[in-house]
Structure 1
Amino acid sequence: MASSPIRETATVAEQDPGPIVQRILLGAALRDAREDKGLSSTEATKKLGWYAGKLSKVEQGDKGVTDKDLAKAVAVYEIAKDREGVLKQLAAEARRKLPPSRVPEWATKYVNLVAAAAEIKLHLSDSFPGTVQTINYARAVLERSVVVSQADVERMAEERTRRVERLISANTRIWLVVGEEALYREIGSREVLREQLEHVRSLATAANVTLQVMPYDGGAHSCHGTPFTIISLIEGRPGIVYTEGLTGSDYLGGEHVRVYNLAYDNLRAAALSPDKTLALINRRIKELT
């Protein structure tokens, strides 16, 4: 049985990234244990005595496990004793409750994943994503949302501005590719857009941040009409793809992650280099002054 995924899980757990992330890590460890045992999802479900669909939810991190559930999985997958304790700790911490966050309920998982990420790859065509927004830019975006209460706009905008500060201080690797339209769409006002551009220009000076722009004249590329984020919790592991709509979000794993990573690599190759991107941003800032 492969031991590295569970050892890596222990390392992340020691950083206490939060119950949602720990639930995802536990699910990934159990999936790896099942695959190492050579069991299909159907075979494992039968041996575990779980209802149809429960195993999938557990492995995706959408459902926690009881001590009884975990003990059954340990027996069926023949997980070694020295790693059973790590999984028990994760299962217990994954059941902890956190204070409600100032984001829509369906976005809570994303916020916790980003907070625990080792690497984040973001792509958005027409604007800058929440992870790198200034408070005025975030406020302007949130005020036009049809799913965010006006009473929550200010607190959510403040949380967005703190998010990137935490990522920078934690030395999280951040890759950001935006369409050139993001440099021209005056969200809030010309002044707000200029402030936002100055902000991302400043962020790009950090050693762990790479900023690129896909220019108008760049032609076709691999990610048309597909905003997404790839979140890697552990360096060298495939990660999770996050996509979002107006009323909900989706988390993709497995083969989806490979495809999105390939598309992102192609996107970065087609985009302007970081130096040319900064030159373009500097010209745009001057135009807005």
Structure 2
Amino acid sequence: MANGSRQAAWEFFGTELKRRREEAGFTQSDLGSRVFVSGGYIGQFEQAIRKPQLDVAQRIDEVLQTGGFFERLWRKLIKEQAYADHFAHVAELERLATEICEYAPTVVPGLLQTAVYARAIYLASNPLAADEYIEEMVRLRMDRTQLLKDATRPVYWAVLHEAALRIPVGGPAAMARQLDHIAAMMRERKVMVQVFPFSAGAHPAMGKMMTLMEFDDAPPTVYTEAVLSGNLLDDPAVVKRSQAHYDLLRAAALSPEASLALIESVAEDYRRCASTT
């Protein structure tokens, strides 16, 4: 399903939600309180600004007594979406976020990746996949990176563990280009990046990827990811604790200036290595 027709389908979801809510005599706040989200969330679902998670669609069916209509429609739309189930909602929220803070323990975050780096990642995960599949995945990843090039881009802050700089994904030449790209984004003041050095030792998020997102009109969220799975959480206590962990990471990381110098130095090391092979 193309992006335009998929958006139209989500708009149909929202239109039906509004129609059936009004038929049941509920305001947006009434329905929101019964399915454990805010009335503002219900309004955003109806306008196809945000997509509900599965458990919310199921509770809407229960409250409005729609016989599983919204769950079935949700599953069909999610099945035909571009991203894996565990990440699809995160990709939607990225476009709505006013601030995105990421911690990456071993891999450069998707929003900072070059096409060559992304291709190497997908090939490592799918060594027998057809070229068409790999190129489609790379295209989708590059589509996401446009977010940081838009005039209305969110504030973006990343803490990269030094390991993410030192693992030669795609080989020395690819890593040199990847690190050059990050350095250029930093110099253009499109992103803030800090490096957490090996010398800093232990930290609260050992080995755990983490993405914090803030919004103008919705509670902040935290997303963590494991192998073929992910958790998107908006429980205030969990988000607050995750933010505290992120603050500790930033405090122990190199300054942005020192981080830029290290990134450029490692890129030069990769270039020298590439020139001798």
Are the counterparts in 2 of residues 143 and 153 from structure 1 also a CA contact under 8 Å?
A: yes
CA distance in 2, matches of 1:261, 1:210: 17
Aligned pairs for 1:1-289 within 5 A: 66-67=20-21, 71=26, 74-75=29-30, 87-88=42-43, 90-93=45-48, 100-145=80-125, 150=130, 151-169=132-150, 170-234=152-216, 238-254=219-235, 255-289=237-271
Counterparts of 2:155 and 2:183 in 1: how far apart (Å)? 16
Identity, % of aligned positions? 26
Q: Which runs of 5+ in 2 are unaligned?
A: 1-6, 52-69, 272-277
Aligned-pair CA distance for 1:233 = 2.4
Greater alpha carbon shift after TM alignment, 212-221 vs 86-95: 86-95
Between 163-172 and 243-252, report the one with greater CA deviation: 163-172
- Given that 2:28 and 2:39 are in contact with CA atoms closer than 8 Å, whether structure 1 keeps it comes out as no
1:272 maps to amino acid:
L
Q: Compute the displacement of 1:152 (Å).
A: 2.3
Q: Is the 8 A contact 1:132 1:160 kept in 2?
A: no
Whether the aligned pair in 2 keeps the contact of 1:183 and 1:284 (CA below 8 Å) is: yes
- Aligned residues: CA RMSD: 3.5
Secondary structure at 2:125 match in 1: coil
Cα offset for 1:130?
1.3
| 2:32–2:41 CA contact under 8 A, matched in 1 | no
- 1:100 Cα deviation from its structure 2 partner: 3.8
Give the SS at the match of 2:156: strand
Q: Give the TM-score, by structure 2 length.
A: 0.70
Paired residues, number: 228
User: Cα deviations across residues 49-94 of structure 1 (Å, max 9, x unaligned)?
Assistant: xxxxxxxxxxxxxxx785256816645889xxxx979955642535
Q: Which amino acid aligns with 1:271?
A: A
Deviation at 1:200, TM superposition (A): 0.6
Measure the CA separation in 2 of the matches of 1:223 and 1:91: 37
* 3-state secondary structure, aligned to 1:200: helix
Q: Is the 8 A contact 2:86 2:229 kept in 1?
A: yes
Q: Per-residue CA shift, 1:218-263, capped at 9, x if unaligned? A: 122221121111122228x651111122222111122110011110
CA distance in 2, matches of 1:249, 1:217: 29
Please report the TM-score for the alignment, with normalisation by the length of structure 1: 0.68
Unaligned runs of 5+ in 1: 1-15, 24-63
